[in-house]
Copies of this chain bind each other. A is one copy, B any other.
Amino acid sequence: MSPRTKEQFEAIRNEKEKLILEVALSLFAKNGFESTSVSMIAKKAGISKGLMYSYFKSKEDLLKEIILNGLNRFIDFLKIEDPNNIQKQELINFIDGNFSLLKSNSDFYKLYFSLSLQPKVLAVLEAEIATLFGKFFSAFNNYFEKKGDKNPYVKTRYLLAIFDGVGLHYLVDTKNYPLDETRDIIVDLL
C-alpha cells in the first residue's frame, strides 16, 4: 500500500468531521443538547471520545459548529438581484426554500428552536444570527415599503414570526400539519 497523500488524509478528516456533525445534530435534536453525552455521539459515530476531541475542542464547540453549518444553508435561499427593486418571486423562492429545508432538515430546526430561548448557548453566535436575521428583515421590509404597505415594519416582523410558528407546529406534529396549504396562505400575504 502506498502511503496516503496529504489530500487523502484531508478527505478522511473532512468526511469524519461531517459524520460527527451529522450524528451529533440528530442526537441533539432528539434528546436536547444537555441530555446528549459525548459518549453517545462517539458511539453512534463509531469513533472514540478522544478522537472527537481532536475534531472539536469541546462539546459546546461542536454545537456551535452545527449551528453555524445550519445557518449557512439559509442564506442561499435569499437571492435578491436588486435590493431596491425586490421581486415577489424572489421572496416566494425564499419561502419555498425555507419550507423545503424544514422538511429535509428538520433536525436542525428542532435544535435551533429549542435553543433559541437559551441565550447563553447561542450568545457566541449572536453576531452571525443577527446578520442573518437582518438580511431577511431587510428584504421583506424593503419589499413591503416599496409595495406601499401601511406598516411595513409590523408586517415584516409578523411574517418572520409566522415562519417560525409554522415551523414549530410542523415539527411538533409533522404528520398532520398542512404545510403546503399554509405556504399558500403566507404567499398571499406578499
A117 touches B172 (CB 8 A): yes
A120 touches B165 (CB 8 A): no
Chain A window 157-179, contacts with chain B (Cβ cutoff 8 Å), 1 for yes, 0 for no: 11011111111111110000110
Any B CB within 8 A of the CB of A32: yes
Q: Which of A79-116 contact B (CB under 8 A)?
A: 110, 113-116
A117 touches B114 (CB 8 A): yes
Can you list 12 A-B contacts with CB-CB less than 8 angstroms, sorted by A residue number?
A: A35-B118, A113-B113, A114-B115, A116-B168, A117-B172, A154-B181, A154-B182, A157-B178, A162-B162, A164-B165, A164-B169, A168-B168
Any B CB within 8 A of the CB of A56: no
Any B CB within 8 A of the CB of A151: yes
Any B CB within 8 A of the CB of A185: yes
Q: Which of A132-190 contact B (CB under 8 A)?
A: 151, 153-155, 157-158, 160-172, 177-178, 181-182, 185
Interface of A is mostly: helix
B116 touches A172 (CB 8 A): yes
Any B CB within 8 A of the CB of A31: yes
CB distance from A127 to the nearest CB of B (A): 15
Q: Which 6 A-B pairs have the closest CB atoms?
A: A165-B165, A34-B34, A161-B165, A161-B169, A154-B181, A114-B117
Chain B residue nearest to A160 in the complex (CB) = B169
